């Protein structure tokens, strides 16, 4: 196997800020040199290129490792580095049941026959890492799930799993389950914050991980998000984290406890200064949202208690939505169709109960901002109109 190499794992403005804070010229030079190499570099290569002494290169690399700018990786061979004779490839596929099974599973998922270069790559991985066949099946399946099935991607992921010690089925399966749970958690948090078109950035992921460790529920996160909009007038991750950390330290675990704290704080603040007109309007809008949410939950609770069909359909609909978030391709299309059936059935149950079809829908006064007053960092027109009605020039 190749020796360990120093590979840059953090780039962009955040990495540059960390690098500048180190104030170490040799660490900066090593970072630049490693970043310029397609496959990173060994410390020996860096010493030759930069004229560093061995101890200087070691100290610089330790700084990059400690501050998360770089990592040691055992990288797969470069493309074209491994070559097998066609007879070797055929013999390996015919006589080695494990390698033959890997090739067949890959072809079944790719829908085509492996070419020579792909077989060379897979055989190199098989002979170098000797991962168990059930681990390789999981690995290829993960590439399929990501819609990135290629021999090079299998190679890259195999070496990463090897570095992480995922060399038996139990460890690899547990790792995949953790990654799925983390992905679902990320999507759920972003949805609460009104973000649905991207994954979290690196700094955002750190906040999400912190909140997971603190046991923050979606409902409490939503309450903190509302308070963030009131205080910062936009989504500010540091501001939001400060609120959640404060609540966690105070033992606040539910939105009701948070509202009680806000009522207490508001009483104290009122003695010191009057609230601004805008803050008053936003608070009123927030209270209307909370009242509507409470009313909808009361309606749902009533239907669950009075209609077993509704309770069963609601449970099936939530399970379908959860499975749909983790699926793709034909399976996702089938689940989406099933989800629409559950929605249709819910409408039928409401009619049977003498309720209008929108009885369980949140209908805000302003459909543009959802009665939050802001769209991102900009005031919504509904808030502007309310301020104008109060004689405020906007």
The pLDDT value given to residue 26: 94
Pick 123 or 183 by higher pLDDT: 123
Q: What is the pLDDT of residue 74?
A: 60
Average pLDDT over residues 166-194: 88
pLDDT at 32: 94
Supply 290's token pair. 């909370």
Check pLDDT > 60 for residue 79: no
The pLDDT of residue 111 is 93
Mean per-residue pLDDT of the chain: 86
Over residues 315-342, the mean pLDDT reads 88
Lowest mean pLDDT among 106-120, 151-165, 189-203: 189-203
Contacts of 31 (CB under 8 A, 6+ apart): 8, 19, 64, 69, 70
Q: What is the pLDDT of residue 12?
A: 83
Q: Check residues 274 and 49 and name the one with the higher pLDDT.
A: 49
What is the mean pLDDT of the segment spanning 5-14? 84
pLDDT digits (tens, 9 = 90+) for 239-296: 999 999 999 999 998 988 888 877 766 655 544 443 478 888 888 889 888 888 888 8
pLDDT at residue 75 in the model: 52
For the segment 226-235, the average pLDDT, to the nearest whole number, is 89
- 27 has a pLDDT exceeding 90: yes
Arithmetic mean of pLDDT, 186-210: 84
User: What is residue 261's predicted lDDT score, i.e. its pLDDT?
Assistant: 78
Kindly report which listed range (72-76, 314-318, 387-391) carries the lowest average pLDDT score.
Answer: 72-76
Q: How confident is residue 2, by pLDDT bands cut at 50, 70 and 90?
A: very low
pLDDT at 113: 94
Terminal alpha carbon distance of the chain: 66
> Cα(70)–Cα(91) distance, rounded to whole angstroms?
40
Average pLDDT over residues 32-51: 89
pLDDT for position 265 = 63
Q: What is the DSSP letter of 41?
A: B
Res 394: pLDDT: 64
| pTM as predicted | 0.41
User: What contacts 158, CB < 8 A, 6 or more positions away?
Assistant: 76, 125, 129, 131, 136, 139
CA gyration radius, the chain: 28
Residue 15: predicted pLDDT:
85
Dihedral pair phi/psi, residue 220, rounded to 5°: -70, -35
Asked if residue 337 lies in contact with residue 323, where contact means CB atoms within 8 angstroms, the answer is no
């Amino acid at each position: 196997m190749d020796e360990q190499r120093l590979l840059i794992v953090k780039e962009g403005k955040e990495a540059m800020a960390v690098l500048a804070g180190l104030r170490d010229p040799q660490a900066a030079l090593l970072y630049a040199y490693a970043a310029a190499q397609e496959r990173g570099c060994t410390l020996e290569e860096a010493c030759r290129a930069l004229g560093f002494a061995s101890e200087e290169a070691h100290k610089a690399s330790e700084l990059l490792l400690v501050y998360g700018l770089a990592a040691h990786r055992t990288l797969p061979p470069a493309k074209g580095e491994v070559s097998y004779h066609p007879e070797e490839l055929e013999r390996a596929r015919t006589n080695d049941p494990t390698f033959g099974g890997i090739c067949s599973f890959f072809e079944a998922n790719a829908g085509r026959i492996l070419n020579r270069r792909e077989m060379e790559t897979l055989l190199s991985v098989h002979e170098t890492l000797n991962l168990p066949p059930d681990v390789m099946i999981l690995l290829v399946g993960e590439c399929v799930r990501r819609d990135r099935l290629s021999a090079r991607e299998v190679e890259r992921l195999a070496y990463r799993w090897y570095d992480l010690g995922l060399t038996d089925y139990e460890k690899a399966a547990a790792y995949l389950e953790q990654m799925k749970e983390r992905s679902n958690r990320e999507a759920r948090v972003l949805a609460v914050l009104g973000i649905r078109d991207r994954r979290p950035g690196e700094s955002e992921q750190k906040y999400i991980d912190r909140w997971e460790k603190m046991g923050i529920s979606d409902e409490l996160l939503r309450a903190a998000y509302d308070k963030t909009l009131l205080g910062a007038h936009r989504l500010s991750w540091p501001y939001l984290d400060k609120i959640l950390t404060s609540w966690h330290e105070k033992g606040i675990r539910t939105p009701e406890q948070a509202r009680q704290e806000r009522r207490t704080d508001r009483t104290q603040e009122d003695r010191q200064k009057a609230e601004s007109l805008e803050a008053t309007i936003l608070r009123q809008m927030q209270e209307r949202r909370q009242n509507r949410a409470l009313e909808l939950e009361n309606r749902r609770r009533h239907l669950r208690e009075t209609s077993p069909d509704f309770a069963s359909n609601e449970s099936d609909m939530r399970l379908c939505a959860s499975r749909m978030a983790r699926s793709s391709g034909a399976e996702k299309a089938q689940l989406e169709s099933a989800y629409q059936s559950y929605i249709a059935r819910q409408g039928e149950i409401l009619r049977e109960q003498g309720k209008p079809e929108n009885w369980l829908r949140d209908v805000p006064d302003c459909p543009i901002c959802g009665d939050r007053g802001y769209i991102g960092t900009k005031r919504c027109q509904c808030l502007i109109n309310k301020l104008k009605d109060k004689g405020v020039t906007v």
